[in-house]
Amino acid sequence: MLLVEKNAMTEEIEALVEQFGKQRSSLLKILHEIQKKHRHIPDFAQQEIARLLDIHPVEVYSVISFYAFLNTEPKGRNIVRVCQSITCDLQGKQAVCNAIEREIGCKFGETSKDKKFHLEFANCLGLCDISPAMAVNEKVYTNLTPEKAVQILNQVK
Amino acid sequence: MEDKNQRAPVSQKAHKVTIPDHPEHIGGSVTIEINEKRITVPMGTTILEACREAGIHIPTLCHHDDLCVAGVCRICVVEVEGMRTLQAACAFPITAPIKVKTSSQTVRKARRHILDLMLSEHYGECYSCVRNKNCELQNLAQEYGVDGFTFGHVTKSKYPVDESSFSVHRDNDKCILCKRCVRTCIDLQEVGVLESIGRGDNTHISTFMDKDLADVICINCGQCINRCPTGALYTNDPSDEIWAAIEDPDKHVVIQTAPSPRAAIGEEFGLEAGHSMTGELNTALRRIGFNKVFDTNFSADLTIIEEGTELILRLYQALVEKKEVALPQFTSCSPGWVKYLEHFYPEYISNLSSAKSPQQMFGALIKTHYAEKAGIDPKDIVSVAVMPCSAKKFECNRPEMVDSGYKDVDYGLTTRELAKMIREAGIHLPEMPKSHFDNPFGDASGAGLIFGATGGVMEAAIRTVVEFVTGNKTEDIFENANVLPVRGFEGIKYVEFPIGDKVGPVPELIKHLVPDWNWLKGATLKVAVAHGTANAKKIMEDIKAGGKFSECHFIEFMACPGGCLGGGGQPIPTNEEIRMKRAQAIYAEDESLEIRKSHDNPYIIKLYNEFLTDGPCSHLSHKLLHTHYTKRGKYIA
Amino acid sequence: MENKKSERSGKVLFTKYTRGESINKAVSMKRDDILLEIKESKLRGRGGAGFPTSTKWMLTAAARSEDKYVVCNADEGEPGTFKDRVLLLEYPELVFDGMVIAGYVIGAKEGIVYLRGEYEYMLFPLLDYIQGMRDDNLLGKNICGKEGFDFEISIRLGNGAYVCGEETALIESLEGHRGEARNRPPFPVTTGFMGKPTVVNNVETLACVAKIVEKGGEWFKQHGTDKSTGSKLFSISGDCKKPGVYELPWGTTINELLKIVEAENTKAVQVGGASGVCLNKTQFDRQLAYEDAATGGSIIIFNENRNMLHVLKNFMEFFVEESCGQCTPCRIGNTKLLEGVRMIESGNFTFAYINQLKELGKTMQVASKCGLGQSSPNPFISILDNFKDEILNKGNGGTNGR
């Protein structure tokens, strides 16, 4: 990380700590914001958060590693999560996944070469009645077919 | 250790029901039935505590007396009548007249299953494990008659062993995720190196970003090792190298022994805690093949003279010469504490006494003064230090610790590792005849000895400073020269000593440094003692905020709870009772000695007459006996 | 997602309701009277465990503390459950009114909705909705003119951890920790969020409260069975023509339900989501009720073409990933159960070992630290029991396995 980037990150975290408060219960809120903006939480950011909340860096890392939606290494710009729970599985998740993998050119658990997409599975998105389902970042798509899934991803910037 | 639950990490939070102050009042206690045996306990007592009270054995793994409740291993489950599920005895506070069954069929089956599950993931063989025959998991397997691996047994290692640190090694394959190390590192020590990482079947104990232990802010105190139930954490053992040196006819191998290992090593040979084995150990070490056996207490006495003189100089500069001097002066004997300060409060390293720890002072003397006297080329000397401490291994490997022209101390050996060497040599320590230490350093004073207990350095310093400054005998002020106010296991002790109007003549030894004591007339010496880095942190935060500790003159810090006798290299298990007994052994030995003040040690006087002829804090003493520190900071690259 | 509110019908929740109605009524009542009304209704928690709501509230109301909290558990992560999604999107008035009433009854000033991260798309609509309540004095200071009754609601997002649906894990997560369940006792009713008395209720439970206050406990009790009063929202998915959320009275049998959703050739019904039990045809006459087939509302239907071992494997993979990993029975136990499933899949197993694993499952049910590990063996045990022929004998009379 460049010094300028570090300074910017520190300022950003200071602002978040200011907004949410210096107590431990702000930790996940802060992590959520950093994750949303940077698509990952770099180790420098973790240490700055730890410093400002007066906890240990390893505690921040421990929390991040617990939650599926937080990660410490950069993934793609858009995170595609296909629901792998039983109903979606029964309604043709596999065919959808195969189509997506072919279209994006990488496997699930991987990031595409152009860093545009990161593919992963999610555990139950709560859309079982309109399955199969997937989420692209915060937005959800339902009643997927292989064609529909590909079409949706093609519209993502 | 007042509040074990303060800043506890997740899930380890006890959320305990507070035990009432007066359990004898109505509603303050409750009568329960354990296996049809009735017992009355104060409200809020856990089932485990009640069972212990009633003499009923409950197996435990994640529970540790020094730590807050976790309730994660589930091996202590018991049946509570009327409850659908089994309850963890360690985590269940009694608030109603419950009926408990501790070994029903469901309970026994559950415990066996839990044990089987742990064993299925526990990689490695007992007979090649450092904790063989002192492993809580192994004990339970025996207790529950495990005769096979019900749910299989891992045949492949899952994690690499982390051997990056000079002091502490980690083998996650043996970890059972009891989180005692996490609670030790975060709650007890407030260092914060270890935590649970990941979730589900990926959960493992690790460091920030899974880095090597050497690359994070570990202070090497080894308290995690003392509390690990298995062999997942252990010290970096140099005994093979030491054996090789002993075998090598060209090497002259000397060993120094610190007081705490001597007070605890008996435990490794089946004795109750609290038996000092100084004389027996000397004989054993000679039989093993060490050429000379020296007493670290000698250099502890030397530390008192050097560090005490340094304090007097700092005070003189501040009060008389009105110079900017860093005060209070912090002790520097505990390498765990030193590294803690370097990481967490680097802006205060000028407060650290520049005097080396006794181990390193001795190291520098052995390869200079002793080598010269004995006519041995220092390059042929292998210098070993028996310490209660894992951080001493890091300390002797600090790049600056080469003032003799060689690595001052070659190997730091822990009490446990030495016990292993003694067993390997076929010696049963308690049966050894007693013998004395070797010259030219001879036996040391009781002041050096009590360095092993928290408050000991302070007491030793006071015994000397009182006599230096007032000209009175310490015995005139403190009965039997026992400075009781600085003793005991209270986390933080703060004591004031008014000097009064009567001062004595300046002793010969430091006369060239201060002309008289008039400037100390009517002054009050303020000192403090802290053990365990969590307590150290409290003092440091107070100092930062300009509180009462910032007005202290001298503060003793020890990284480990109880001081050195609770060090990370000491026999396992540890708890407050054991540490208390070790302290009693140390204080008893001190009282049995003729010479109990550092400046009365004739060998110290001799050393200043023969070798360090310019006196304490002189050029030569600074070269050999003092050091400098590194501002490390908290940032992990 | 289209709003199907107009098409929904039910007797208790899916009925006409105007925002603020029950809050207005509640503030004119004594707190104790509301508690009595809820007690009268015999309302039990809708998340699955079925703890009597009135007891929970009474304990929290009785706890002495300046600060108390109402937490709405919207971390709906159980596979096959989506009723809270519908409630929050289409009936927020019931849920939030229920929260305000809870705040009034227990004496809390702060309510927190723990919304699962997967539902982030609801965040802004819900925040808008809450702002609307503020504008109408249904939140804020002196609510509905009741002097001294102040209450605020905030929303916290989860970050993808199923176990945070367990109430103490949820509280840990709110406090900024790993979602690891706490030791109980003490319970959240006395020692919850930030160590203060806290009521944690499911979205649906709070919605029920709004209706109970509006129409009375007696009215509520008329629906359902004696022990399971009121109605239940069922999230129905899988092999049927009309999946979706249905409001049905407690006591409805599985056969009746299958008819309503037009399921054909049904072989198995998973009641209660992944952590529930799987029933076969012989059990379809069972009633959905706390006293019979208890459920948080998830019903997954499998027809004759489905491979039950595949279903079981999917469930066990879920638990291995979603276990928080702190306690031994759940962390390693689930791995062992999944290994067992894989063994069966490969044909390389013994019946004796599978029976061992079932016994292990029973230990997990009683020895795990929280509800996750206590219920995760349910599908393993029930599927292997109820579909033994299909899975272990592969329909050929037991020549598989060694």
Would you state the torsion angle of the CA atoms of residues B139, B143, B145, B147, taken in this order, to the nearest 10 degrees? Answer: 0
Residue B40 has pLDDT above 50, yes or no: yes
* Range B59-82 average pLDDT: 96
Instruction: Give the whole-angstrom CA distance, residue B197 versus residue B405.
Output: 44
- 3-class DSSP state for residue B110? helix
Going from the C-alpha of B388 to that of each of B222, B486, B572, B582, C272, the distances in angstroms are 10, 21, 11, 12, 56
Question: B318: which residues sit within 8 A by CB, 6+ positions away?
Answer: B325, B327
Contacting chains of B (3 CB pairs or more, <8 Å) are A, C
Q: Is the pLDDT score of C399 beyond 70?
A: no
**C264 CB neighbour count, 10 Å cutoff:** 11
Angle at C51 between CA C45 and CA C56, to 5 degrees: 95
- B224 among known catalytic residues: no
**Helix B105-121 crosses helix C351-367 at what angle (to 10 degrees)?**
110
How far, in Å, CA of A108 to CA of B186, rounded? 37
Q: Quick check: A86 and C160 CB within 8 A?
A: no
Could you give the CA distance from residue C184 to residue B91 in angstroms, rounded to a whole number? 8
Domains, chain C, ordered by start: 5-221 (3.40.50.11540), 231-303 (3.10.20.600), 308-391 (1.20.1440.230)
Whether the CB-CB separation of B174 and B231 falls below 8 Å is answered with yes
Q: Which residues of C146-172 are buried (b: 16+ CB within 10 A; e: fewer)?
A: beebebbbebbbbbbbbbbbbbbbbbb
Is the per-residue pLDDT at B404 higher than 60? yes
- Chain centroid, CA B159 distance in Å: 28
Residue B307 designated active-site? yes
Q: Which of A27, A89, A126 is the closest to C118 by Cβ?
A: A126
CB B533 within 8 A of CB B219: yes
More confident residue, B11 or C16: C16
Residue B13: pLDDT band by 50, 70, 90 thresholds? very low
Domains, in order of start, for chain B = 115-235 (3.30.70.20)
Q: Which amino acid is at B66?
A: D
Average pLDDT over residues A112-132: 95
Q: Is B435 a catalytic site residue?
A: no
Across the range C333-351, mean pLDDT stands at 95
Q: Which residues of C touch B187 (CB under 8 A)?
A: none
Name the β-bridge partners of A83.
A122
Calculate mean pLDDT across residues C380-394.
91
Looking at residue B368, the DSSP 8-state letter turns out to be I
User: Do residues B568 and B574 lie in contact, with contact meaning Cβ atoms separated by under 8 Å?
Assistant: no
Please tell me the distance from the alpha carbon of residue C117 to that of residue C123, in angstroms, as a whole number: 9
- CA C385/CA C402 separation, integer angstroms: 18
| DSSP E strand stretches across C50-197 | 69-74, 110-115, 152-157
Could you give the residue ranges of the DSSP H alpha helices within B425-489? 446-449, 456-470, 474-477
When pLDDT is averaged across residues C88-114 and rounded to a whole number, the result is 97
C275 CB burial (10 A radius; 0-12, 13-18, 19+)? buried
B9 touches chain A (CB under 8 A): yes
pLDDT of amino acid B32: 96
Kindly state the tokens that stand for A56: 């240990």
Q: What angle do CA C71, C76, C79 make, to 5 degrees?
A: 160
Give the residue among C264, C283, C240, C267 at the shortest CA–CA distance from C389. Answer: C267
Mean pLDDT to the nearest integer, C322-347: 96
pLDDT of C117 over the 70 cut: yes
B14 touches chain C (CB under 8 A): yes
The pLDDT of residue C398: 47
Per-residue pLDDT of C313-327, as tens digits, reads 999 999 999 999 999
Treating both helix axes as pointing N-terminal to C-terminal, what angle do C31-41 and C53-62 enclose, rounded to 10 degrees? 160
| Residue A17 distance to chain C (closest CA, Å) | 13
CA distance between the termini of chain B: 32
Q: Give B 154-193 residues with CB within 8 A of chain A.
A: 186, 191-193
Best of C170, C180, C190, C290 to substitute, by most chain B Cβ atoms within 10 angstroms, is C180
Residue B46: closest CA among C371, C168, C186: C186
The alpha carbon dihedral of C123, C129, C133, C134 has a sign of positive
% of residues, chain A, pLDDT over 70 = 100
Residue B263 CA, chain-centre distance (Å), reads 13
The pLDDT mean for chain C works out to: 95
Of the pLDDT bands very low, low, confident and very high (cuts 50, 70, 90), residue B439 is: confident
Task: Kindly determine whether residue B636 and residue A43, on different chains, have CB atoms separated by under 8 Å.
Answer: yes
Q: Which of B186, B196, B635 shows the shortest C-beta gap to A56?
A: B186
Report the SS3 class of residue A149.
Answer: helix
Percent of chain B with pLDDT over 90: 93
* Nearest of B86, B106, B101, B104 to residue B54 by alpha carbon: B101
Give the C-alpha distances (Å, rounded to integers) separating B191 from A62, B185, C40, C194, C363: 15, 6, 53, 24, 37
Annotated active-site residue B125? The verdict is: no
Our answer to whether residue B324 is catalytic in this structure is no
Q: Which residues in chain B are contacts of A66 at CB distance < 8 A?
A: 196, 198-199
Domains and CATH numbers, chain A: 3-66 (1.10.10), 78-155 (3.40.30.10)
Mean pLDDT throughout B222-230?
98
Cα(B352)–Cα(B231) distance, rounded to whole angstroms?
Answer: 35
What are B247-281's pLDDT values in tens digits? Answer: 999 999 999 999 999 999 999 999 999 999 999 99
pLDDT band of residue B10 (cuts 50, 70, 90) is very low
Q: How many CA atoms lie within 13 A of B310 on its CB side?
A: 28
C176/B110 Cα distance (integer angstroms): 32
- Would you say residue B5 has pLDDT above 80? no
- CA B215 to chain CA centroid, Å, is 22
H helices of chain A, in order, are: 3-20, 27-38, 43-53, 57-66, 86-90, 93-104, 146-155
- pLDDT recorded at residue B9: 42
Q: Are C151 and C111 in contact (CB under 8 A)?
A: yes
Helix, strand, coil content of chain C in percent (nearest 5):
45, 15, 35
Which residue intervals of C71-160 are DSSP H helices?
A: 83-90, 92-106, 123-135
Q: How far apart are CA B567 and CA B260, in angstroms?
A: 8
Those residues whose C-beta lies under 8 Å from the C-beta of residue A54, and which sit 6 or more positions away, are: A22
Are the C-beta atoms of A62 and C178 separated by less than 8 Å? yes
C-contacting residues in A 46-85 (Cβ below 8 Å): 62-63, 66-70, 84-85
pLDDT band at C6 (very low <50, low <70, confident <90, very high): confident
Question: For residues B66 and B48, what is the distance between their CA atoms, to the nearest angstrom?
Answer: 15
The verdict on A89 touching B (C-beta cutoff 8 Å) is no
